Amino acid sequence: MANSKQAEKRIRQSLIRRDRNRAAMSRLRTSIKRLRSAADSDVTKARELLPSTLSLIDATARKGVIHRNAAARRKSRLTRLVNRRVEAAASATAEPSD
């Protein structure tokens, strides 16, 4: 229970920020899940989804929802994942020509 007007305002602000942060994290998680599932099934779709997902990660970090180092780590891992899947798909199509 708030004991001052300032504390009441802080509670209101924190509730608003919590809702905003939860929505941003939900969007981010959904985008990452879509990218990961596309990387497993359809490499071309994963390549299309990668820029928008990386942009969403940057926006989330810029708003302070996640730390910038955490954003950089996620971007690096997702890019590496997609690049590995693209290379694997390319090598799989190149091998049968023997």
pLDDT of residue 98: 53
Cα-flanking dihedrals φ and ψ of residue 65, to 5°?
-75, -40
Q: Distance (Å, rounded) from C-alpha 23 to C-alpha 68?
A: 18
pLDDT of residue 95: 73
List average pLDDT for each run of 10 residues in the chain, which is 98 residues long: 93 98 98 97 95 98 98 98 94 73
Q: Distance (Å, rounded) from C-alpha 55 to C-alpha 48?
A: 12
Domain boundaries defined on the chain: 49-92
Instruction: Give the global pTM.
Output: 0.86
pLDDT of residue 97: 59
pLDDT of residue 96: 65
